[in-house]
Amino acid sequence: MEYFSTTEIIGYMASLVVLLSFLMKDVTKLRKVNIVGCLLFVAYGVFLGFSIPIIVTNVAIAIINVVYLIKTKKAA
């Protein structure tokens, strides 16, 4: 019986967390959960042998989420 590799498990977890983030009604919670998913995707990209497209895209999305969280906090 073949088991999932660590890389596959991280990839599936990342996909699941990002998917779950889009089910959130609260935008702040959505962004926080999405950041976790992005960080998991960054780890996945590293485990794949430094897949630059996966890493760069998810770092950029995480930064955008952080910026909007900061803006939201300042506006409140």
- Domain extent, residue 36, equals 6-75
Mean pLDDT per 10-residue segment, the chain (76 residues): 88 96 95 97 97 98 97 88
| Within-domain flag for 65 | yes
Domain tally for the chain?
1
Write out the DSSP string of 9-24.
HHHHHHHHHHHHHTT-
Q: What is the pLDDT of residue 20?
A: 96
Q: What is the pLDDT of residue 1?
A: 56
The pair phi, psi for residue 66, each rounded to 5°, is: -65, -45
| Within-domain flag for 25 | yes
Contact by Cβ (8 Å): 22, 30 = yes
| Within-domain flag for 47 | yes
| Within-domain flag for 26 | yes
| Within-domain flag for 60 | yes
| Within-domain flag for 67 | yes
Q: What sign does the CA torsion over 56, 59, 29, 76 have?
A: negative
Q: What is the pLDDT of residue 76?
A: 76
Q: What is the pLDDT of residue 11?
A: 96
Among 74, 34, 75, 28, CA closest to 58? 34
